[in-house]
């Protein structure tokens, strides 16, 4: 079958629709476990990774690489799950991360502020004012994070294959609409799209392993994967870093060959 990635606004029933869709199809469903897997990979606290994935970046974060680091670990979790096929992924910009994969159905759920606030008010026991503030705060935070990390407007309908207004839509109806869409021939995997996803997954898994490795964490290396063959290039400071990079790549599932084009920098010599 295929993969469904859902982007939602707070209170728009995206998670509920995704869960129901997965149940009817007999597929897996993932939302918060994506964060848990990313935290495990990075060695960071779950709350810290969640902030890096969902909330507006601070000025300091904009000036450092910390948030792009968390982005890599979250993307590695998303691609790892997506590569298993027959899965519904909800939230955490998974629809944007997977937008280059042909057989992924990318959906967006939204609704009016007041309808979403009312739902959150009922679910969480909030006052009407607090629920509306929560909706507006969540919208601002997520939009700013996506703009910072992906340079796109998360509300742009052209980023998605299907946009659902859930103001007057039930969870059941939303799940039926997504099921009808994902059964379309255009969202069925082909050998080419499966191979493309495999190569993308291999690349992002390697990037995450580089970041997690203390020898390679500060290096800047470029990767290209085609049918399991990975080419790596860049400049490192020592033979150890070059050797470690190749060893890490050979440990990535799916890698069949490594072309190591890494150069070792020469120490700068002062003038006599």
Q: Which two tokens stand for residue 216?
A: 């390679």
Tens digits of residue pLDDT in 131-156: 999 999 999 988 988 998 899 999 99
Beta-carbon count within 10 A of 71 CB: 22
pLDDT digits (tens, 9 = 90+) for 10-47: 999 999 999 999 999 999 999 877 877 777 776 767 77
Query: What pLDDT score was predicted for residue 56?
Result: 64
> What pLDDT digit, counting tens, does each position of 204-224 carry?
999 999 988 999 988 889 999
Contact by Cβ (8 Å): 248, 216: yes
Helix 66-82 × helix 32-42 angle, to 10°? 120
From residue 158, give the alpha-carbon distance in Å to each of 96, 107, 175, 261. 11, 11, 21, 38
Q: Which is higher by pLDDT, 187 or 33?
A: 187
Contact between 9 and 109 (Cβ < 8 Å)? yes
pLDDT at 69: 78
> What number of other Cβ atoms are within 10 A of residue 206's Cβ?
24
Tokens, residue 163: 């946009």
pLDDT digits (tens, 9 = 90+) for 109-124: 999 999 999 999 999 9
DSSP strand pairing (28-30 vs 104-110): unpaired
Q: What angle do CA 217, 220, 221 make, to 5 degrees?
A: 105
pLDDT, one tens digit per residue, over 66-111 is 667 778 888 999 999 999 889 999 987 899 999 999 999 999 999 9
- pTM, 2 dp: 0.87
**pLDDT band at 65; cut points 50, 70, 90:** low
Radius of gyration over alpha carbons of the chain, in Å? Answer: 21
């Amino acid at each position: 079958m295929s993969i469904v990635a859902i982007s939602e606004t707070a209170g728009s029933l995206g998670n509920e629709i995704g869960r129901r869709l997965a149940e009817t199809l007999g597929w897996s469903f993932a939302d918060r476990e994506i964060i848990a897997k990313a935290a495990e990979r990075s060695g960071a606290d779950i709350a810290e990774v969640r902030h890096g994935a969902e909330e507006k970046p601070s000025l300091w974060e904009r000036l450092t690489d910390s948030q792009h680091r968390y982005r890599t670990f979250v993307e590695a979790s998303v691609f790892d799950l997506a590569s298993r096929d027959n899965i519904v992924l909800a939230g955490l910009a998974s629809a944007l991360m997977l937008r280059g994969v042909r057989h992924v159905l990318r959906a967006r759920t939204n609704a009016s502020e007041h309808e979403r606030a009312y739902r959150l008010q009922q679910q969480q026991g909030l006052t009407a004012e607090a629920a509306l503030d929560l909706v507006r705060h969540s919208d601002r935070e997520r939009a700013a994070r996506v703009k910072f990390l992906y340079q796109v407007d998360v509300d742009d309908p052209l980023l998605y294959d299907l946009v659902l207004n859930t103001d007057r839509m039930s969870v059941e109806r939303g799940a039926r609409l997504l099921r009808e869409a994902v059964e379309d021939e255009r969202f069925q995997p082909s050998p080419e799209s499966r191979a493309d996803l495999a190569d993308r997954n291999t690349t992002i898994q390697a990037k995450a392993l580089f970041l997690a490795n203390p020898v390679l964490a500060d290096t800047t290396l470029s990767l290209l994967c085609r049918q399991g063959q990975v080419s790596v290039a860049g400049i490192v400071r020592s033979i150890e870093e070059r050797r470690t990079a190749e060893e890490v790549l050979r440990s990535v599932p799916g890698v069949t060959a490594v072309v190591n084009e890494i150069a070792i920098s020469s120490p700068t010599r002062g003038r006599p």
